[in-house]
Amino acid sequence: MLARRLPALRTPYARQASTKSSLRQVLEEVVPIKQQRLKQLKAEHGQAVIGDVKVENVLGGMRGIKAMLWEASVLDPNEGIRFHGMTIPECQKLLPPAPGGKEMTAESMLWLLMTGRVPTPEQSRELSRELAEKGELPVHVQHLIDSLPASLHPMTQLGMGVAALNHDSAFQAGYEKGIKKTEYWTYALEDCINLIARLPTLAARIYRNIYRPGAPLASVDKDLDLVGNYTNMLGFGDNKDLTEYLRLYIALHGDHEGGNASAHTSHLVGSTLSDPFLSYSAALFALAGPLHGLANQEVLRWQLAMQEELGSGHEVSHEDIKAYLWKTLKSGQVVPGYGHGVLRAPDPRFLALQQFCEARPELLESPTIALVKKTYEVAPDVLKEHGKTKNPYPNVDATSGCVLYHYGLKEFKYYTVIFGVSRALGCLTQIVWARALGLPIERPKSLSMDAIEKLIQ
């Protein structure tokens, strides 16, 4: 137990800075508090034991080892994700929406992740304006993306574009000039804001080139929020329901603690003092892996195959779905969208998306969304009976891609790009904080099987 209570920010939703404070000004207030807290942790509790390492952890991909500092979010196996202590329902209630909208925005989630505080509507809107003003792509990145073949995977193009943005990195330029370590975070913040601002423009250009060649690409509208601009540039600006869905989707996917592959990659590369553009491009290539960011595509394919075999989600029976689930399991496949590396309860993000669906008649009428809901009513019991799944409950991927498909965004390979736009909020927040707290280069100890056997003996 800690000898005495460490200094901490008050409960975030009890704190709001002055409406005149910018994101940088709030961080200038918060950073010294966190720095002092870290200093005290090191001094008073540096030798405290918070876990142990078993051979199965080393052989199983380091799963479960408590070995990273990640300030913005913590994933509890039973409660799900919390952002600075706030649950998803609390975020939905307290984080400001876009003007005329109901769902929390990417900007308000970014503010919470960065500062631990809830922004005022004015602060969130001002951040939207800043991002819009910085949202245009440099000409050399436009030329790079336009030169790539349409057959090149959109995630490869996104990673290349993000890496190329480092041409204008403030952090890299400042480091070469010899800035003080205490100033690292301010330069990293500048890069991170610029990258978040340009990601939708980059992602939309990739979509246009691959799926809508020759179609006009809308300019960034200074009066729209980040997701409003993104949807508009994708060519879906008239679909207000899709815009609202993407606001919720991107906010919910913004951070999911630091141990997942993309977040860990950005943290690892950033620990070498690579600039945020290079660090996040590496994270995107981790996100592109089938075991990480492609899950909602697999769910949608599986759901559509079930629908083709069984019929409309409105007509199919629970017994038919149960038989299809057993058919999937007996063939040696997993049920996509169910199970999670950490969670042992239904994913709160899935529940939030289901609530979104249930509030919209057009989604309730969708045969695909109806099948998602009926599958949720059957699958947990089947998986429990099967006995080989640690978590028989749905994760966010069980429904996220299906809603995109319903709203007309049907290009499966592009779904992970949207994930990449959202996950930047958390990964880049942590790069700022890693530089503010002076975290060292990450360097775990590796062991051979011989070395492990000697330790056991």
Closest CA to 284 of 163, 145, 196: 163
| Residue 347, SS3 per DSSP | coil
pLDDT at 240 over 70: yes
**How far, in Å, CA of 236 to CA of 217, rounded?**
11
Do 165 and 179 share a domain, yes or no? yes
Do 133 and 279 share a domain, yes or no? yes
DSSP of 384-407: HHH---S--SB-THHHHHHHHHHT
Judge contact between 115 and 26, C-beta under 8 A. Answer: yes
pLDDT at 12 over 80: no
DSSP of 235-282: T-TT-HHHHHHHHHHHHHTS---S-SHHHHHHHHHHTTT--HHHHHHH
Backbone φ and ψ of 363, nearest 5° = -80, -35
As a whole number, the mean pLDDT across the chain is 94
pLDDT in tens, 322-357: 999 999 999 999 999 999 888 889 999 999 999 999
Mean pLDDT of the 132-140 span: 98
Structure tokens at 1: 């137990």
| Residue 394, SS3 per DSSP | strand
pLDDT in tens, 412-448: 999 999 999 999 999 999 999 999 999 999 999 999 9
Print the domain residue range for 322.
Answer: 295-406
- Domain of 357, CATH number, reads 1.10.230.10
% of the chain exceeding 70 in pLDDT: 96
What residues act catalytically? 292, 340, 397
pLDDT at 9 over 60: no
7 or 41, which is more confident?
Answer: 41
Do 141 and 269 share a domain, yes or no? yes
Mean pLDDT of the 27-35 span: 97
- Per-residue pLDDT band for 104 (boundaries 50, 70, 90) equals very high
Judge contact between 328 and 335, C-beta under 8 A. Answer: yes
Helix (H) or strand (E) holding 432: helix 415-436
- Is 29 within the bounds of a domain? no
pLDDT in tens, 387-422: 988 899 999 999 999 999 999 999 999 999 999 999
- Is 174 within the bounds of a domain? yes
What is residue 357's DSSP assignment? H
Do 421 and 328 share a domain, yes or no? no
Residue 10 has a pLDDT of 43
**How far, in Å, CA of 430 to CA of 65, rounded?**
19
- Angle at which helix 184-211 crosses helix 139-147, to 10 degrees, equals 40
Mean pLDDT of the 121-134 span: 98
**How far, in Å, CA of 79 to CA of 240, rounded?**
31
Asked whether the CA dihedral 169, 172, 177, 180 is positive or negative, the reply is: positive
| Model confidence pTM above 0.75 | yes
- Is 300 within the bounds of a domain? yes
Do 195 and 234 share a domain, yes or no? yes
- Is 457 within the bounds of a domain? no
Judge contact between 221 and 386, C-beta under 8 A. Answer: no
Structure tokens at 115: 């500062």
| Number of independent structural domains in the chain | 2
Do 391 and 322 share a domain, yes or no? yes
pLDDT in tens, 188-228: 999 999 999 999 999 999 999 999 999 999 999 999 999 99
Do 239 and 254 share a domain, yes or no? yes
- Domain of 238, CATH number, reads 1.10.580.10
**Least confident among 155-164, 208-217, 295-304:** 295-304
Residue 18 has a pLDDT of 56
Closest CA to 430 of 194, 198, 265: 265
